[in-house]
Amino acid sequence: MQYRTLGRTGVQVSTLALGAMNFGAIGRTSQDDVTALIDKALAAGVNLIDTADMYSNGQSEELVGRAIAGRRDDVVLATKGSLPMGDDRNRRGGSRRWLTTALDNSLRRLGVEHVDLYQVHRWDPSTSDEETLSALTDLQRAGKIRYLGTSEYPAYRLVEAQWAADRHHLGRFVSEQPSYSILQRGAEAEVLPVAQQYGLGVLAWSPLASGWLSGAVRAGQTMTTSRSKVMPERFDTTIPANAAKLEAVEQVAKVAEQAGLTMIQLALGFVIAHPGVTSALIGPRTPEHLDSQLAAADTVLSSDVLDALDLIVAPGIDLAAAEKHAVAPALTEPALRRRS
């Protein structure tokens, strides 16, 4: 296992980090399943576990908390808040009112007194950076959070947040969590360069592109990834973006074969090869999944292999741009681009 510094914090984290989205109802995993996965990951050198309050409506945090009981100090523990936790319109977003409550709820579910990294799960356009950062800074000073982070923030919002922290003498975000893979390379255009400029750590999620790069999705065969049942629209190859992904996957498979690597090793090796990436978040549901992903821990791709991947999907290009979560409101809300 390799280790890198999370931004400028001095905290060393493994280049493969354990994502907990599949823990609980989403991945149909029990406490015994989760504990076994965490045991195996920690034994292999993984030291960062990333979860969120909305994963299985809090169940993921509860399962993680019980699994790490008695060895809290061995884990760099990260969670996230701001996405909806119920129908109440105030049980979401980046306000002081909600983040204070959301964090306390997460700490209770995890059974800990603090988290190492607390991330705003999505930028909230209705809340100012000063409001969000002021609340998080107070929680940090209270000892409930060690570091502040973001997830799926557009690049310009990362910059604005850094400026707001400077102007108002508040805590800074030290990390960003974007979607990044061979098939979804949009983060290379702005998010990763901005992260590098401001010294932010990057925890890349979905490095296997929701299973497209796991080897479970190939032309002419029945899809075996669990995501195809949960999000069938993302695997319907009659949709042009998915057809483009399938064509790219077939080419990626050839590169992996020529390099003597599994597709998973190639996909994870690609993500952690980027100089702006700190860790790739893996999301295993079974021990077999975890074993296949841990096999990429020491994968180093040659320039020839990386060049070959550039020819399949050009740098900065998302093959399925509609799947991105960091879309500017001006592109999704007509009222923001039309005079009244």
Q: Which residues are catalytic?
A: 55
Q: Which amino acid does the sequence have at 5?
A: T
Would you say 102 and 81 are in contact if contact means Cβ atoms under 8 Å apart? yes
Query: 50 - beta bridge partners?
Result: 19, 78
* Dihedral-angle region of residue 38 (phi above 0 means left; psi in -120 to 50 means alpha; beta otherwise): alpha
Give the angle 65-67-72 at the CA atoms, nearest 5°: 65
User: Cα–chain-centroid distance for residue 292?
Assistant: 19
Three-state SS at 210: helix
Query: 279 - beta bridge partners?
Result: 203
CA atoms of 182 and 208, how far apart (whole Å): 8
Of the candidates 29, 106, 25, 14, the one whose C-alpha atom is nearest the C-alpha of residue 6 is: 14
Torsion of CA 280, 283, 289, 290, to 10 degrees: 60
**Token output for 331:** 């592109």
Beta pairing class for 3-5 and 12-14: antiparallel
Instruction: Name 214's Cβ contacts closer than 8 Å, sequence gap at least 6.
Output: 208, 225, 263, 264, 267, 292
Q: Which amino acid does the sequence have at 101?
A: T
Would you say 75 and 41 are in contact if contact means Cβ atoms under 8 Å apart? no
CA atoms of 280 and 1, how far apart (whole Å): 12
| Packing angle, helices 96-110 and 59-68, rounded to 10 | 40
